[in-house]
Structure 1
Amino acid sequence: MINTPAESQPPKLLEQVAARMRVKHYSLRTEKSYVDWIKRYIWHHGKRHPKDLGAAEVEAFLSHLAVTRNVSASTQNQAKSAILFLYKEVLGVQLPWLDNVTQAKAPKRLPVVLTRDEVQALLNRLDGTMWLLVSLLYGSGLRLMECLRLRVKDVDLARCEILVREGKGFKDRVTMLPKSLIEPLKQHLLKVKALHQEDLAAGLGAVFMPMALDKKYPNAGKDWAWQYVFPSIKLSVDPLSKVIRRHHADEKTVQRAVKKAVNLARITKLATPHTLRHSFATHLLEGGYDIRTVQELLGHSDVATTMIYTHVLNKGGQGVASPLDTMSA
């Protein structure tokens, strides 16, 4: 019996999923999440190959998540997206519309918003790079990962603009750079540039390049313009290429710092880094800015998404005053 060389064997299913996702430029985080859900789907059906399963089995798994596991609607939707990606992009199978899935209920919650005084109290409990980063989240309305993935070339100090590349939905947008942060940002970038020079002197200094640009421009990853505005303090091994690089700062570090600052400021609201984005939008609307302008700064596709902030304004979405406040003495 002749053994087939390992390199001539077809890739395993999960390897095919990962390869297809990289071709379509999905993030590593999404790739790991999708692979994990596909694993769970296969295990749920007794390790049967997905090509032997169909819409009924997909419906059964998604209903199991909602009914037995009691997962949130967003979690169930993520599992659904992963499985549909498997069938459509990897197996080339078009499943019928999933009509019989028990949908997890999505709670209709209003966003947590801090007052201006609470934002100031939170920022007063931070310093250095963390203060600058969190100030950008509030002052520019950035999502946490949008801020961490900023490159030097995306920050225009002269025009007071920040170009957010491939934000949610793979869309680019331009948002404001607060004038009060220009000088602190200049000083911060001087330190980052010095760190980059040290990496270059050590034979390193190349960062991750999106869309395989490192193959088209092999030396671009070492250019100052492509460096992260908020790099990690430690070098790490790229999980895909195995190259030693300096990635951007870890989002968990920011989350822990904000949580600690919230506690020190004695803020009772369940505030996270994303709360600062909600506060940015609400305070702009309170200041009288047009909702379409706020929509553009936030990068929302539908103005209805931005409308939710009108419900947390001091006077409510329609500016209605309470009858108790209008009662005569």
Structure 2
Amino acid sequence: MSIPKNGSLLDDVHQVMRLNHYSIHTEKTYSDWIRQYVKFHKMTDRCELSVLPEAKVEEFLTYLAIHRKVAVSTQNQAMNALVFLYKRVLDKPLEKTVDAIRSTKNRQIPVVLTQDEVKQIITLLEGVPQLVVKLLYGSGLRITEGVRLRVHDIDFEYKQITVRSGKGNKDRVTTFSEGLMPSLKDHLQRVRLIHEQDLQEGYGVVYLPNALSKKYPNASKEWGWQYAFPARSLSTDPRSEGTIRRHHIDQSLINKAIKVAVKKLGIVKKVSAHTFRHSFATHLLQRGTDIRTIQALLGHNDLETTMIYTHILKQGGEGVTSPLDDLNI
């Protein structure tokens, strides 16, 4: 897509997002929605974006709801990307109300594993995938939070993990399994050796968020700032001018390992890394943990979001026992 200014529209999007310290995940997501929006309206010139913008946005969002039948959260994500485009990139905020048809796709009850299924899957996993999955289930982390974990965010003494800039750019503290400590400490010892080797070879500089590298020039080489689960090899940082560094592992490696284990076990549930977060919350509820405590551990803004796990605990549809069970046959 090329809508020229000094560069392409997407070049401007990338530049603004990096100046404002958006995550690379958000950058890719917003860029993709903006690309789809331009393609949908068949726009070839930047000026076309400013012609009846609210009507264009409304038509695109309605298309997503009616023809692509996207979930409410997906439609909201697209809207956020377009609001960002007009307000922050084009400097022409949407002024009129965007009255698009809203998505009505119901939120599905999340897939949850039994404790035995969790145990079987974790037992089949090895190495880093096993450690990451144990953190997802043991601490209720999202997969992105797990792979981006920094060394100094793991507190062995207080048995807690600090999640930095989670969903909604919020920090939170969650629990940490005591049983995971020995294997994670062994893992971090190996990671430290890799970091020291990188430093000796002139590398070892990790990416720091929110311009911290300018505020703390030496922090990027410090052990505490390194990723707990670094990639196997060095690579060029796409958001820098050719800087070579060791990024964190790709989350796809974890999901692939989970998929293989689930297939071997013959589990028919649709299992992904996020399933272990759902299982964490559900199993805490089964143990009698207060719902607001679980809300805090998961980092949910709204208690209603956490309440969905209470539906899973009901025995049978809406908690009703089937009359067939009364017949004892």
Q: Normalised by the size of structure 2, how large is the TM-score?
A: 0.90
Match of 1:46 in 2: 43
Q: Normalised by the size of structure 1, how large is the TM-score?
A: 0.90
Match of 2:189 in 1: 190
Measure the CA separation in 2 of the matches of 1:69 and 1:296: 34
1:110-155 CA deviation, whole Å, 9 max, x = no partner?
Answer: 0000000100111111112221111111011110010111111000
Measure the CA separation in 2 of the matches of 1:54 and 1:36: 18
Q: Retained in 2: the 8 A contact 1:292–1:303?
A: yes
Change (3 A) 1:303 1:71: closer
Does residue 236 of structure 2 align to residue 210 of structure 1? no
Identity %: 49
Match of 2:254 in 1: 254
Match of 1:57 in 2: 56
Q: Retained in 2: the 8 A contact 1:310–1:316?
A: no
Match of 1:119 in 2: 118
1:258-317 CA deviation, whole Å, 9 max, x = no partner?
Answer: 111111121110010100000000000000111111111111111111110001115479
Q: Retained in 2: the 8 A contact 1:310–1:317?
A: no
Match of 1:294 in 2: 294
Offset of 1:52 from its aligned partner?
2.8
Offset of 1:161 from its aligned partner?
0.7
Change (3 A) 1:289 1:51: same
Q: How many residues align?
A: 319
Match of 1:201 in 2: 200
Residue 32 of structure 2 aligns to which amino acid in structure 1?
Answer: D
Offset of 1:10 from its aligned partner?
4.2
Match of 2:33 in 1: 37
Measure the CA separation in 2 of the matches of 1:293 and 1:38: 38
Unpaired stretches in structure 1, ≥5 consecutive residues: 1-8
Residue 237 of structure 1 aligns to which amino acid in structure 2?
Answer: T
Residue 14 of structure 1 aligns to which amino acid in structure 2?
Answer: L
2:211 partner SS: helix
Measure the CA separation in 2 of the matches of 1:274 and 1:53: 40
Match of 2:15 in 1: 19
Measure the CA separation in 1 of the matches of 2:254 and 2:7: 38
Residue 81 of structure 2 aligns to which amino acid in structure 1?
Answer: A
Deviates more, 1:284-293 or 1:79-88: 79-88
Residue 278 of structure 1 aligns to which amino acid in structure 2?
Answer: H
Offset of 1:69 from its aligned partner?
4.2
Measure the CA separation in 2 of the matches of 1:314 and 1:40: 41
Measure the CA separation in 2 of the matches of 1:108 and 1:76: 13
Residue 259 of structure 1 aligns to which amino acid in structure 2?
Answer: K
Match of 1:162 in 2: 161
Residue 300 of structure 1 aligns to which amino acid in structure 2?
Answer: H
Residue 281 of structure 2 aligns to which amino acid in structure 1?
Answer: A
Q: Retained in 1: the 8 A contact 2:300–2:306?
A: yes
Offset of 1:81 from its aligned partner?
1.6
Measure the CA separation in 1 of the matches of 2:156 and 2:143: 20
Q: Retained in 1: the 8 A contact 2:71–2:107?
A: no
Match of 1:235 in 2: 234
Match of 1:3 in 2: none
Measure the CA separation in 2 of the matches of 1:218 and 1:276: 37
Change (3 A) 1:314 1:79: closer
Residue 47 of structure 1 aligns to which amino acid in structure 2?
Answer: T
Offset of 1:13 from its aligned partner?
3.4
Measure the CA separation in 2 of the matches of 1:230 and 1:90: 34
Measure the CA separation in 1 of the matches of 2:72 and 2:304: 20
Measure the CA separation in 1 of the matches of 2:320 and 2:29: 47
Measure the CA separation in 2 of the matches of 1:155 and 1:31: 27
Residue 229 of structure 1 aligns to which amino acid in structure 2?
Answer: A
Change (3 A) 1:191 1:221: same
Match of 1:225 in 2: 224
